[in-house]
Structure formats: C-alpha cells, structure tokens
C-alpha cells in the first residue's frame, strides 16, 4: 500500500468526485485557497502538477507555508465544506474515509500519536473538517525524492503501466514501497514477498520454457544467487535485449520480490537504468 502523501491523498479522492475528477482539476480544486495573487512566480503548469502527482517533484515551499496558521486552516476547511464535500459521491463517502484510514494505519512514518489523532478526526469530525485536517497534514509531510528510471528495459505484465516515465510510482501504488538495497540495510537476508530495489551485475541467458522464448536473469547478493525468468515479449527493445545477451553480463537496476528463499527464485517487475 502506498504511503500517505499529496499524491495518494488526491488519487484516493479523485474517483469519489462527481466533477473536477481529473488529476489537474482535483489538484487545483484543493490548492486554490492557498495559492493567491501574492504567488505570481509559482509554477502550477500541467507538467509541474503531473510531476508532483508522480512524486518526482515537491510543491513549492511557499505553498506549504501558506497552509499553516489558523487563518489558513479556516480557508482550507471552508474550501472543503463549500467546494469539495458537495461534489463527493455520497454512497462512496464511507469507502473514502476507510481508504484514508488504511493509508494512515499502514504508514510507518506516521507517529502513533499522530495516527490516533488523524483516525479520530476521520471518525468523529464532519467530512469537511476531517478531510481538511488530513490535507493540511499531507501537504506538510517533508518531500522525499524518488528514484526515476532513465531507461526502462523490461516491465512485467504484473505492473499496470501504460507509460514508463512514472512506472516506479505505479509500482508503489500497486505493491507499496520497496526496500532500497542500494542504500544498504542492516539485515541482508531477503524476505519472501517483500519488494526490493537493487543495482547489480546480472548475467542473462536465453531459454525456451513451454515453447515460449524467455530470458533468464541471475545475480548474486550477500553470497546468495537469485534467478528469474523474464518473457522476451516484455522487454521493450529486442535489440537492447540482444545486445545484453551478447555481452553476457550487464549492470542493471531491478525491482523484484523473492518467491522462494530456498532456491533463490524471484519475480522481476522492472529492469532498467536509474537517473544519476
């Protein structure tokens, strides 16, 4: 499950809006009361909003500061009560509050005290009050720059990606955050079912499995060999795949999970090269 953020807050809200339910319209609807004529140089272009929603860029610090203080709280709460709540699909309100509750409960970065405060707000306050309070909180969460793939070479059909410039965001939305092995972790024993990112030297070899052309990917981590079979059809460039196969080995960044620790079998969701 994704972490609580501006992006996850808006994406959770969008399906429940009767109108203003595109990514850009929903973003402007929520941020309108804190973006005024005193902010002439603030970029709220379609590209900027898209990058914020895909967690590639942060909102401007001026906007974040504008959500603080009693006057700002009143403005934001008034916006939710007058402009957001009236266009929510009433039969889906309970589901919406439940989804926000799940995001809060499953986000380990939120302190126990704050979790209790936010959950009590969703349960006991009006919809407008509780959503405004949660919105102010997510806007003020410190931004963490996420990895961006410079090139994507392989994408599993288990990933619902129509385009690849935001594929890491899609994976996090589907499967939750991954553990970044490139940054080092204290426990190097990989756990079954947990998502990992690793940049590692891989050996690749062609194979035919049940009459389907596959490419086997193998690598070693912490003294243990891991392997996965990838469908050749899911490699975005056959010529790139051929070049890697001809080279025999290549350093690649993988997003994967472990299926069987005993024999080192993994499933690879993504193979590519990260932006430096």
Cα 216 to Cα 242: distance, rounded to the nearest angstrom: 13
- The Cα diameter of the chain in Å comes to 67
Residues in CB range of 84: below 8 A, 6 or more apart? 13, 17, 29, 30, 128, 131
Looking at residue 41, its pLDDT comes to: 67
Please check whether residue 92 is in contact with residue 204, taking contact to mean a CB–CB distance below 8 angstroms: no
DSSP code per residue over 5-56:
SHHHHHHHHGGGBSSS-SHHHHHHHHHGGG--TT-TT----HHHHHHHHTTS
What is the rounded distance in angstroms from the CA atom of residue 129 to the CA atom of residue 125? 6
**For the whole model, what pTM was predicted?**
0.61
Three-state DSSP class for residue 205: strand
How much helix, strand and coil, in percent to the nearest 5, is found in the chain? 45, 25, 30
CB atoms within 10 A of CB 42: 15
Q: What is the reported pLDDT for 17?
A: 95
Predicted local distance difference test score (pLDDT) of residue 251:
92
- Nearest to residue 10, comparing CAs of 70, 54, 43, 48? 54
- Could you identify the residue written with the tokens 């990514």? 23
Mean pLDDT by 10 residues, the chain (276 residues): 85 92 90 71 83 84 89 93 96 96 91 95 96 96 72 88 70 82 76 91 88 90 93 91 91 94 93 76
Could you identify the residue written with the tokens 């996090």? 172
> Mind listing the domains of the chain with CATH numbers?
6-139 (no CATH), 149-274 (2.40.50)
Bridge-based pairing state of the strands 179-180 and 149-155: unpaired
| Cβ atoms of 14 and 88 closer than 8 Å | no
H-type alpha helices, the chain: 6-13, 23-31, 46-53, 61-65, 70-79, 93-105, 112-124, 127-139, 167-175, 238-247
């Amino acid at each position: 499950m994704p972490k609580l953020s501006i992006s996850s807050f808006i994406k959770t809200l969008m399906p429940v809006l009767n109108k203003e339910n595109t990514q850009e319209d929903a973003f402007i609807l929520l941020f309108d009361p804190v973006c005024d004529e005193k902010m002439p140089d603030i970029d709220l272009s379609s590209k900027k909003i898209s990058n914020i929603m895909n967690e590639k860029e942060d909102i401007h610090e001026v906007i974040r500061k504008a959500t603080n203080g009693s006057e700002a709280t009143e403005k934001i709460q008034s916006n939710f009560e007058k402009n957001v709540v009236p266009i929510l699909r009433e039969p889906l309100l309970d589901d919406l509050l439940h989804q926000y509750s799940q995001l809060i409960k499953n986000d380990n970065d939120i302190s126990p005290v704050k979790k209790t405060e936010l959950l009590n707000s969703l349960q006991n306050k009006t919809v407008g009050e509780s959503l405004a309070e949660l919105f102010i909180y997510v806007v003020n969460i410190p931004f963490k720059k996420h990895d961006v793939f410079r090139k994507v070479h392989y994408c599993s059909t288990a990933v619902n990606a129509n385009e690849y410039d935001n594929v890491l965001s899609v994976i996090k939305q589907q499967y939750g955050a991954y553990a970044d092995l490139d940054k080092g972790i204290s426990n190097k024993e990989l756990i079954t079912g947990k998502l990992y990112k690793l940049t590692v030297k891989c050996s690749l070899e062609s194979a035919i499995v049940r009459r389907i052309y596959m490419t086997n990917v193998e690598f070693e981590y912490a003294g243990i060999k891991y392997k996965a079979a990838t469908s050749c059809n899911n490699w975005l460039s056959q010529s790139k795949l051929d070049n890697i196969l001809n080279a025999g080995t290549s350093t690649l960044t993988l997003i994967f999970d472990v299926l069987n620790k005993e024999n080192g079998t993994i499933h690879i969701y993504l193979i590519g090269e990260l932006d430096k």
